[in-house]
Amino acid sequence: MKTAHTNKMLIIDLSDRTHDILQTPASLIRDFIGGKGFGASLLSDGISSDTDPLGPDNLLMFIPGPLTGTLAPAMRGCVVTKSPLTGIFLDSYFGGSLSAEIKYAGYDALIIKGRAANPSYIWINDGTVEIRDAKSVWGTDTLEANRRIKDELGDDTVKVATIGRAGENQVLYSLICCEYNRQAGRGGAGAVMGSKNLKAVAVKGSKLVNVHDPAAFAAACKDAFTELEQSADVEALRLAGTASAVEFANETGLLPHKNYRNGTFAKASKIADKGQKKHLWLGSSACMGCPIRCSKIGAVRTGKYKGIVTDIVEYESAALMGSNLDISDIRAVAHLVKLCDLYGLDSMSTGTVIGFAMEAGEKGLLESPNGIDLSFGNIETAEYLIHTVANQEGELGTLLAKGVKQAADIIGKEASGFAMHTKGLETPAWGPRGVAGMALAYMTTDRGGCHQRGFPLSYELSGEWNDVSLDPLSPRGKANLVAHLQNYSAGTDTLVKCDFGSFGISDTTYARMLSAATGTRFTADDFVKTGERIWNLVRLFNLDQGMDASTDTLPRRFVEEPLPDGPGKGHRISKKDMAYMIQEYYKTRGWDDNGIPLEKTLNRLGIRYVRSNQ
């Protein structure tokens, strides 16, 4: 039967330089569809609780979705591994065209294990797999490595994932750059790649992705494109990308300023789309198969950083490297973000780490090295810290390369009070003190501090969900909303669709595309059910890795310090509110009081998982 799954997974062992092609199990497709689901199942089966994230036994997987490489709009790829930053499950998503190339080469997943004896890169050309010497590109930045590998292979159309110096040096929040400006950014997948002595993965494929019923698939895709174009949010995204969210976050008091002390920034418009249009943007670009073209290509045109070629500074980077550090010159922010891109550092975590360091400097908890002024607003300090961290230079670079949680633990004293993270992953750029549901979403995210596993604040600020009124400041009624959004997000992350390139597309249309492509009937409900299965499986995996209910919490600043400005002024998420929401959430999920899934919940979802510590 023709289907969009290739039914093959490529497994490569860098230690013994072998590879094998495995049949994709039918049960994996049936229960987990693709993307995040495949990753959750393969990681649970493939590593144990004592697997060192930076050891050879950790798995590093590149997984496209079943519809990636087809007509379906805005389909992407994900990287799944055990995070060296958090020690738990990590799924990190990338756009561009690399994931489609993996499908064209004939694979539902690339699974990489072991550790190469010397710096290496993997070259996959359809069924041919080589492990090549990468000594000549080791030490280069992400873009230079991409160019040199294409030159060596003599083919500009090859798609390449690379790490930069940060990944080579195993900075715990280093990323994987998938083609020029698309990154698997969060959680330190770049460090896992570096620990395997793997500089790059280059892929070229020549096969088309099959679909089971081409006419039905084309009709469903046509409807998806129509729904997308009719969405009220698409035009704003097309015009200004996610940079337009800066002003929204500022007006709603959710924009981090000075390491999240405040929720507004007087100069927000300078780092938002208006400032970016004036100083940076020249044109638009898109990921493969996406009609939105939310990305903006450009260059700094005036001032000290003139000539730097840049992409859009996305909302999260603009906020965490801009307002969070009290920096309002978007040209400088673009420069700092570009440095992170070249080193292969997650600019979100890096912004939060620098904010933490600046506050620690202000409080006298960190000594300023080399006369560096560790105070907010200092662009040179931010630049210095990026270089220092990426190269793990000196005591300060080595300390901050571990992320804010570990750095705060090492510094001691009151440092943990302003270390902004959940489960070790640095907090995204949406302060939750005025939106209790968003706080619950942070408390319970499966990969740590993340806003993409359910984004309840949009419902909270609109005042209702499912025809029920919602008070953004109240903890009541948030557990159901958060659990539903997490299930839906995990379910549709099996398709590995873009969160923005899916605006307006209904669950029913996604189910029609998937059914026509695979020949198996899926309904809209299947995404929520599959998502719930994945969410519970990842919870078991994380518990097995040593996580417990005590980590279902918030950074202390959000609990102890009332928001000083914005519509949520005076509010914080109290311990009482946290306890209320978390118990309601566990109950909603069918977990016990300690956040462990009950037997009957696992039976209902068809999950069999033997925890290795039982």
For the segment 76-95, give every residue that binds ligand SF4 (CB under 6 A). Answer: 95
CB nearer to ligand SF4: pick between 295 and 536: 295
Is 290 an interacting residue with respect to ligand SF4 (CB under 6 A)?
yes
Binding mask 361-400 for ligand SF4 (x = CB under 6 A): ----------------------------------------
> Which listed range, 186-194, 340-348, 493-501, 564-572, lies at the site for ligand SF4 (CB under 6 A)?
493-501
Which 8-state DSSP code applies to residue 285? Answer: E
CB nearer to ligand SF4: pick between 96 and 263: 96
CB nearer to ligand SF4: pick between 74 and 399: 74
Is 292 an interacting residue with respect to ligand SF4 (CB under 6 A)?
yes
> Which listed range, 144-152, 198-206, 469-477, 494-502, lies at the site for ligand SF4 (CB under 6 A)?
494-502
The residue within the footprint of ligand SF4, chosen from 74, 353, 495, 538 (CB under 6 A), is 74
Query: 603 is written with which tokens?
Result: 């039976």
- Find the distance separating the first CA and the last CA of the chain, reported in whole Å: 42
Is 29 an interacting residue with respect to ligand SF4 (CB under 6 A)?
no
> Which listed range, 286-294, 319-327, 439-447, 582-590, lies at the site for ligand SF4 (CB under 6 A)?
286-294
Pair type for strands 309-310 and 198-204: unpaired
For the beta sheet containing 281-285, the strands, ordered from the edge strand earlier in sequence to the opposite edge, are 281-285, 295-299, 309-310
CB nearer to ligand SF4: pick between 90 and 237: 237
Alpha-carbon gap, residue 518 to 474, rounded angstroms = 43
Alpha-carbon gap, residue 353 to 478, rounded angstroms = 30
Is 286 an interacting residue with respect to ligand SF4 (CB under 6 A)?
yes
CB nearer to ligand SF4: pick between 67 and 290: 290
Give me the least distance between CB of 289 and ligand SF4, in Å please. Answer: 8
CB nearer to ligand SF4: pick between 74 and 419: 74
Is 294 an interacting residue with respect to ligand SF4 (CB under 6 A)?
yes
Is 500 an interacting residue with respect to ligand SF4 (CB under 6 A)?
yes
Contact 209, 470 (CB under 8 A): no
> Which listed range, 23-31, 85-93, 253-261, 284-292, lies at the site for ligand SF4 (CB under 6 A)?
284-292
Q: Which ranges of 61-141 does DSSP label H, i.e. alpha helix?
A: 98-104
Give me the least distance between CB of 542 and ligand SF4, in Å please. Answer: 28
Binding-residue total with ligand SF4 (CB under 6 A): 12
> Which listed range, 186-194, 293-301, 535-543, 570-578, lies at the site for ligand SF4 (CB under 6 A)?
293-301
Residue whose C-alpha is closest to residue 436's, from 484, 482, 479, 475? 475
Alpha-carbon gap, residue 282 to 297, rounded angstroms = 6
- Burial of 340-376, coded b for 16+ CB within 10 Å and e otherwise, reads bbbbbbbbbbbbbbbbbbbbbbeeebbeeeeebebeb
**Can you point out the beta strands (E) in 89-138?**
89-94, 109-113, 120-125, 128-133
Give me the least distance between CB of 497 and ligand SF4, in Å please. Answer: 8
Which 8-state DSSP code applies to residue 375? Answer: -
Contact 501, 65 (CB under 8 A): no
Pair type for strands 18-23 and 176-178: unpaired
Alpha-carbon gap, residue 152 to 145, rounded angstroms = 10
Give me the least distance between CB of 498 and ligand SF4, in Å please. Answer: 3
Contact 242, 314 (CB under 8 A): yes
Is 498 an interacting residue with respect to ligand SF4 (CB under 6 A)?
yes
CB nearer to ligand SF4: pick between 493 and 577: 493
Binding mask 318-357 for ligand SF4 (x = CB under 6 A): ----------------------------------------
> Which listed range, 292-300, 366-374, 393-401, 477-485, lies at the site for ligand SF4 (CB under 6 A)?
292-300
Alpha-carbon gap, residue 10 to 124, rounded angstroms = 10
Question: Quick one: which H or E segment has residue 200?
Answer: strand 198-204
* Residues in touch with ligand SF4 (CB under 6 A): 74, 95, 286-287, 290, 292-295, 498, 500-501
